[in-house]
Amino acid sequence: MRFRFRLLLYPFLIFPLMPSLLSAQTNKSYPASRFPDRIILGFKGDVSRSQAVNWRTDSTVSDAVVAIHEADPSPDFPENARIVKAKTQQILMDGKKVSYHEAVLTELKPASQYVYRVGNGTYWSEWFHFKTASDKNEPVSFLYFGDAQNDIRSLWSRAIRGAFSTLPNADFMIHAGDLINRANADFEWGEWFEAGGWVNGMIPSLAAPGNHEYFKDENQKGTLSRHWRPQFALPENGPEGLTETAYYIDYQGIRFISLNSQEAILNSEVLEKQAAWFEKVSRENPNRWTIIFHHHPIFSTAKGRDNDEWREKMEPLYKKYHVDLVLQGHDHTYARGINMPLGQSRKKPDGPIYVVSVSGPKMYALGLENWMDRAASNTQLYQTVHVDQNKLSFKAYTVNGEIYDAFDLVKDKSGQNSLVELSGSLKMQERLDLPDELQKRFKEAELKEYNERFQKYKQRKAIK
Ligand SMILES: [Fe+2]
């Protein structure tokens, strides 16, 4: 009798609840308090002798400081910590005044571990460790993420946490734009900082802005998110007007250059000005390796998307200045490859390796173009890059920790790279199926077209 009752009742209990459980989601709000939050390391100068940090509090906090000491396993160091004053700015976010604080810690020793906390003498953060860069060409390891953008707390958190689990000793993290969906939505930035949590306080971040970091101001002018500059400490060595969005750092023998593709695509004057700046910093580049990151891809991975002016301007410059690797986002798919004619050996690339990736859950249809050597559809990923002297090793991981793509670049004495293709020996097959949502939405002709493209891609793969 009891058994029968359960059977009868269960469908009514479960099924009416299902749609709301799956779709509706209330956004969490992130009010500032006197205690520091959104603590994030960045770079403002010489990476081996300085480190910058930002954080947020409510507007009652003034006299913001950082306490810093050389890392020490005993808990007795706090009383001897050096106090560094921060700069504070008050900003109106969602109608509420909050304080953003930024401090640059200088006179640090290279390749040394430090411990720090931020606060105002009464309301403190926990103590965090970080390590300065070496002033020599030691090995470098870093993480790279494509767009986070949507459902950041719910679904992107597994990307950054998976990445940290794979590479806990990363020197820094690169975000290639569209970190959030709406430039000034404070709760989205709140989700982004919740996902990264204390990792952001230990491993510095570099970020390039995407189109979603821009909003239209009252004069309809595309303007950088009000959060960007107060919350990130990024180098201020870029072209005028693109401060903290186009910049470079030299890290243990590698020049990393962030470009602002959004402003370049919208304004040809900015495109020219930024390209001239890029040429200048590339001409004067004393480093063995050059890695570029920006939001809009030089070669698109999503069907029907193209940034032709951006490509026509920048691609010849990347070749001219021997850029090794270009890390990008925007197309909500994954692809890695080289712009070389089909049938030609790809062992000696005549230009950079291009990567487009996506770390968040928004997914587009793959373009499956000729330049691609490995692609993925409907897959959240993060990437690790390790550079040791003459060898760069790249790996893409699915957010649940499986290796999806891998290659090495080996540089000879003259600076010529050889590509060592490693994807062929991976366990995972290429994931090229359309995302479910697109399969449902596509009309018959679109599905047929995708299928044809898929078949052609497979045929080309057999030729390569
Ligand atoms: Fe984008």
In the reported structure, the alpha carbon of residue 399 is separated from the centroid of ligand 1 by a whole-number distance in angstroms of 20
Residue 302 has pLDDT above 90, yes or no: no
Q: How confident is the prediction for the chain on average, in pLDDT?
A: 93
Residue 264 CB coordination number (10 Å): 25
CA of 204 to the centre of ligand 1 (A): 23
pLDDT digits (tens, 9 = 90+) for 429-448: 999 988 888 889 999 998 99
Measured in Å, residue 275 CA sits from the centre of ligand 1 at 20
Tell me how far the alpha carbon of residue 330 lies from the centroid of ligand 1, in angstroms: 4
What's the gap in Å between 16 CA and the centre of ligand 1?
37
* Cα-Cα-Cα-Cα dihedral sign, residues 397, 398, 403, 405: negative
The per-residue pLDDT for 342 is 82
Is the predicted pLDDT of residue 291 greater than 80, yes or no?
yes
10 confidence band (pLDDT: 50, 70, 90):
very low
Q: Which residues pair with 97 in a beta bridge?
A: 92
**How far away, in angstroms, is 261 Cα from ligand 1 center?**
10
Closest CA to 109 of 76, 82, 147: 82
Question: What integer pLDDT is reported at residue 371 of this predicted model?
Answer: 92
C-alpha 57 to ligand 1 mean position (Å): 29
Q: What is the pLDDT of residues 144-179, one digit of tens each?
A: 999 999 999 999 999 999 999 999 999 999 999 999
pLDDT of res. 367: 87
Q: What is the pLDDT of residue 16?
A: 45
Distance 180 CA to ligand 1 centre (A): 10
CA of 160 to the centre of ligand 1 (A): 19
Taking the centre of ligand 1 as the mean of its atom positions, its distance from the CA of residue 338, in whole angstroms, is 22
User: Tokens for 411?
Assistant: 């540089």
pLDDT at 111: 98
Task: Give pTM, 2 decimals.
Answer: 0.94
Compute φ and ψ for 448, nearest 5 degrees.
-65, -45
pLDDT for 12 beyond 50: no
Residue with tokens 């390039």: 208
307 C-alpha to ligand 1 centroid (Å): 12
Sign of CA dihedral 345, 348, 349, 353: positive
Distance 428 CA to ligand 1 centre (A): 27
Residue in 106, 125, 90 with CA at minimum distance from that of residue 46 = 106
Q: How far is the CA of 152 from the centre of ligand 1 (A)?
A: 15
Give residue 88's pLDDT.
97
Q: How far is the CA of 263 from the centre of ligand 1 (A)?
A: 12
Residue 368 near residue 454, CB atoms below 8 Å: yes
What is the mean predicted confidence (pLDDT) over 316-341? 96
289 CA distance to ligand 1 middle (Å): 27
Residue whose entry in the numeric block shows the structure tokens 């401090």: 103
Both structure tokens of 76? 């007795």
Give distance in angstroms: CA of 365 to centre of ligand 1. 15
* Interval between CA 345 and ligand 1 midpoint (Å): 32
Cα(316)–Cα(233) distance, integer angstroms: 31
Measured distance CA(403)–CA(162) in Å, rounded: 12
pLDDT band at residue 255, thresholds of 50, 70 and 90? very high
Q: How confident is the model at residue 463 (pLDDT cuts 50, 70, 90)?
A: low
pLDDT band at 23 (very low <50, low <70, confident <90, very high): low
CA of 299 to the centre of ligand 1 (A): 14
Q: What is the pairing mode between strands 334-337 and 372-376? A: antiparallel
| Ligand 1 centroid from CA 331, angstroms | 7
Q: How far is the CA of 329 from the centre of ligand 1 (A)?
A: 7
**Ligand 1 centroid from CA 231, angstroms:** 20
Kindly tell me if the per-residue pLDDT of 13 is higher than 50: no
Confidence check: pLDDT of 72 > 90: yes
* Distance in Å, CA 328 to ligand 1 centroid: 10
Indicate if the pLDDT at residue 59 is higher than 80: yes
Tell how far the Cα of 37 is from the centroid of ligand 1, in angstroms.
27
Least confident segment among 2-6, 231-235, 268-272, 354-358: 2-6
Structure-block tokens of residue 196 = 């990264």
3-state secondary structure the chain: CHHHHHHHHHHHHHCCCHHHHHHCCCCCCCCCCCCCEEEEEECCCCCCCCEEEEEEEECCCCCCEEEEEECCCCCCHHHHCEEEECEEEEEEECCEEEEEEEEEECCCCCCCEEEEEEECCCCECCCEEEECCCCCCCCEEEEEECECCCCHHHHHHHHHHHHHHHCCCCCEEEECCCCCCCCCCHHHHHHHHHHHCCHHHHCCEEECCCHHHEEECCCCCEEECCCHHHHCCCCCCCCCCCCCCCEEEEECCEEEEECCHHHHHHCHHHHHHHHHHHHHHHHCCCCCEEEEECCCCCCCCECCCCCHHHHHHHHHHHHHCCCCEEEECCCCCEEEECCCCCCCCCCCCCCCEEEECECCCCCCCECCCCCEEEEECCCCEEEEEEEECCEEEEEEEECCCCEEEEEEEEECCCCCEEEEECHHHCCCCCECCCCHHHHHHCCHHHHHHHHHHHHHHHHHHHHC
